[in-house]
Amino acid sequence: MTVIMGIAAISKGAVYPGIAGIVGPTVCWFAASGLKGSLIAGDLSQKLFGIAAATVTLALGLGIVYHSGYRVGLFGHWYTGVTWCIVGFAVGWISTNRQVATA
């Protein structure tokens, strides 16, 4: 859905917000997945580094989307790009399980 909405924004002429709308939530999804993976399968130093890396990566994704002014229209409601990034973070957290983390 993120890619489709980003492409729709690009096709309407909002190139930078459209690209940010694809990159930002995807980066936030990676942050959550890496964080949960490090907490599940890592030792203490890996967990600490996972928390630090996820914090930096999440801030990067949120910053990209916030700077672009990207927003998402979904079912008649408008959401900020930052909200959409938080959804991406939640999806990354939910979709990472022990089997994926230890693979």
Q: Give dist(CA 80, CA 92) in Å, integer.
A: 19
Domain count, the chain: 1
pTM for this model (two decimals) = 0.85
Residue 31 located in a structural domain:
yes
Q: Indicate if the pLDDT at residue 14 is higher than 70.
A: yes
Better-predicted residue by pLDDT, 101 or 14: 14
* In-domain check, residue 26: yes
**Nearest-angstrom CA–CA distance, 55 and 82:** 15
Residues with Cβ < 8 Å from 34, sequence gap 6 or more? 50, 53, 54, 57
pLDDT of residue 87: 92
- Answer yes or no: is 46 within a domain: yes
Which has the minimum average pLDDT: 46-50, 88-92, 94-98? 94-98
pLDDT digits (tens, 9 = 90+) for 34-56: 999 999 988 899 999 999 999 99
Residue 11, domain member (yes or no): no
Residue 73's pLDDT is what?
81
DSSP states of 73-102: EETTEEEEHHHHHHHHHHHHHHH--HHHHT
- Of 81, 82, 89, 84, the closest CA to residue 34 belongs to 89
pLDDT of 100 higher than 80: no
For residue 81, tell me if it sits in a domain: yes
H or E element in which residue 72 lies: strand 71-74
Is pLDDT of 92 > 80?
yes
What is the pLDDT at residue 103?
66
Residue 59 lies in a domain: yes
Q: What is the CA radius of gyration of the chain?
A: 15
In a domain, residue 72? The reply is yes
Considering the chain, what is the average pLDDT of its residues?
90
Question: Which residue range is the domain that position 72 belongs to?
Answer: 18-101
- Residue 1 placed within a domain: no
